[in-house]
Amino acid sequence: MFLFRNVLILLLTGLITPSSHAGLTIEITEGIESALPLAIVPFADSGAPVNIRDIVNANLERSGYFKMMPESYMPAQPGNANEVNFSNWQSLGQNYMVVGKVNNIGGQYEVQFQLLDVYKSNQLLGYRMTSSATDLRRTAHYISDLIFEKLTGKKGAFSGRIAYITTDDSRLHRLQVADADGFNPQNIASSPEPLMSPSWSPDGKRIAYVSFERKSAAIYIQTLATGQRERVAEFRGINGAPSWSPDGGRLALTLSKDGNPDIYILNLATRALSKITKSASIDTEPAWSPDGSTIVFTSDRGGKPQLYAVSSQGGTEKRLTFSGDYNAAASFSPDGKYIAMVHGNGNSYRIGIMDMSTRAINVLTAGPSDESPSFAPNGGMILYASKEGRTGFLSAISIDGKMQQKLVFDGGEVREPAWSP
């Protein structure tokens, strides 16, 4: 259903439910039972404009891996390891704690922290870094990544960004980019006509997307730092579903300029087009494998939407999915071991994940209206869009299904998320 809805929007410009323009807030809906007790002690602070401790605490809490100690339960607020009475924290059942300081040095901020093992009474990690006032939130996210990786053995994804589409009451469509925790939303593009399908470049500096601002579908590439953008595809009919190659030099696209929607590759340097699929059916939603050798796409050539794979040089297509009535919108994990997808049976659409070695599909979400999966840069979480009634929101779920977060767009509609590399 989602596949054909998106194609019809590209053909007809469609209708999207309007809503209010607001920010994202995160609700933790599920975490793991074996969460580690962790205390983030308030940092000794000399007037920084951002509370580093609160950001780190919120990041690690919403990961689901940690049981955070409320500030009011803390027996003391030491600023470094030498000030810690470990026996006091041991008696409160804390496994780990973080202490730190923020010093204002000539308008720059020196941030230092230590991650401590409470029961062994020693330091596991310690860093000192300098940040401008505007980069303090980014510094807090980086600290969160360091702590998360040290304690779990998995890379953190707190420093990443997310792109998504919103629509407000005035029917103004916006492409926005925000921090992974929903803060600092920035408008990248806006239009009274639909915007669709944001796709990050591999270096995270540009976004490709579809816009109907000229009353027909066109694909643009926009540089985030400067706002400069370029229209790279505006052929007759459908121009949709841009997907960057891993080397950043090409886009896979859905075009119908020759009749049926097929997968093409656009060389961004030469503007040369290569037709990858040739089918009388609908071929759309291309996704590159991390090594650039393969493109997975959605096609209804078998009667219902399923995932197929083809060499990025073209050739014979191979069907990948056979379980369920509907499998679409593929997203590769960064290591290429998994593909996330929309998995449908009847009128229920959920997020599933396929193990590429076994082709087994594990359904992660409850549905019934989940779509647009996108892997986190660490491969541990999947961001996706969902609905309750007519209200759209974003969620993130771990690839084992044990941890889940809900990112609510206050009072309105948000859709088509994409996690930055």
Determine the average pLDDT of the residues in 242-265.
97
pLDDT tops 60 at residue 8: no
Percent of the chain with pLDDT over 70: 91
HSE-CB for 235 with a 13 A CA cutoff: 18
Q: Encoding tokens for residue 383?
A: 């961001």
As a whole number, the mean pLDDT across the chain is 90
Does domain 2-21+168-419 fall under CATH 2.170.260.10? My reply is no
Q: What is the pLDDT of residues 338-397, one digit of tens each?
A: 999 999 998 899 999 999 999 999 999 998 999 999 999 999 999 999 987 777 889 999
pLDDT tops 70 at residue 25: no
What SS3 class is residue 406? strand
**How far apart (Å, rounded) are the C-alpha atoms in residues 61 and 51?**
16
List all residues 6 or more positions away from 23 whose beta carbon is below 8 Å from its beta carbon: 178, 182, 183, 185, 409, 410
**How far apart (Å, rounded) are the C-alpha atoms in residues 20 and 336?**
37
Instruction: Give the helix ranges, DSSP H, for 13-105.
Output: 52-62, 86-91
Q: What is the pLDDT of residue 33?
A: 59
Instruction: Provide the pLDDT confidence category of residue 52 given band limits of 50, 70 and 90.
Output: very high
Domain with CATH 2.120.10.30 in the chain: 2-21+168-419
List all residues 6 or more positions away from 389 whose beta carbon is below 8 Å from its beta carbon: none
**How far apart (Å, rounded) are the C-alpha atoms in residues 108 and 104?**
6
List all residues 6 or more positions away from 100 whose beta carbon is below 8 Å from its beta carbon: 41, 43, 44, 52, 53, 79, 80, 111, 112, 113, 114
Q: 205: how many CB neighbours lie within 10 A of its CB?
A: 15
Q: What is the pLDDT of residue 11?
A: 40
- What's the CA dihedral at 63, 65, 70, 73 to 10 degrees? -170
**How far apart (Å, rounded) are the C-alpha atoms in residues 231 and 263?**
19
Q: Which helix (H) or strand (E) holds 137?
A: helix 136-152
pLDDT tops 50 at residue 12: no
Q: Encoding tokens for residue 154?
A: 């998995």
pLDDT tops 70 at residue 9: no
Q: What is the pLDDT of residues 107-121, one digit of tens each?
A: 899 999 999 999 999
Whether the bond into 49 is cis, omega within 30 of 0: no
Residue-wise DSSP of 173-236:
EEEEEEETTS-S-EEEEEESS-EEEEEE-TTSSEEEEEE-TTSS-EEEEEETTT--EEEEE--S
| DSSP count for the chain of H helices, then E strands | 4, 31
Of the options 3.40.50.12780, 3.40.50.10070, 3.40.50.1980, 1.20.120.420, the CATH number for the domain spanning 32-152? 3.40.50.10070
Q: Which range has the worst mean pLDDT, 20-24, 238-242, 398-402?
A: 20-24
pLDDT tops 60 at residue 334: yes
Q: What is the pLDDT of residue 24?
A: 62
Q: What is the pLDDT of residues 82-93, one digit of tens each?
A: 999 999 999 999
Determine the average pLDDT of the residues in 65-79.
95
What SS3 class is residue 148? helix
Cβ-contact 364, 324 below 8 angstroms: no
Instruction: Provide the pLDDT confidence category of residue 102 given band limits of 50, 70 and 90.
Output: very high
**How far apart (Å, rounded) are the C-alpha atoms in residues 290 and 292?**
5
Instruction: Provide the pLDDT confidence category of residue 301 given band limits of 50, 70 and 90.
Output: very high
Q: What is the pLDDT of residue 17?
A: 31
Residues composing the chain: 421
Q: Which helix (H) or strand (E) holds 138?
A: helix 136-152
Beta strand ranges found along 6-82 (DSSP E)? 24-30, 36-40, 44-45, 66-68
Q: Which range has the worst mean pLDDT, 8-12, 18-22, 196-200, 364-368?
A: 18-22
Residue 116's DSSP bridge partners are 97, 123
Q: What CA–CA distances, in Å, run from 275 to 254, 255, 313, 344?
A: 10, 9, 9, 29
Q: What is the pLDDT of residue 103?
A: 94
Q: Which of 408, 420, 397 is nearest to 63 (CA)?
A: 397
Cβ-contact 224, 187 below 8 angstroms: no
pTM (2 d.p.): 0.88
Determine the average pLDDT of the residues in 139-161.
95
Q: Kind of pairing, strands 36-40 and 96-105?
A: parallel
What SS3 class is residue 8? helix
Q: Encoding tokens for residue 69?
A: 């100690």
Residue 42's DSSP bridge partners are none
Domain with CATH 3.40.50.10070 in the chain: 32-152
- What's the CA dihedral at 273, 274, 279, 280 to 10 degrees? 20
Q: What is the pLDDT of residue 62?
A: 85
Determine the average pLDDT of the residues in 11-35.
48
Q: Which of 234, 257, 230, 330 is nearest to 287 (CA)?
A: 330
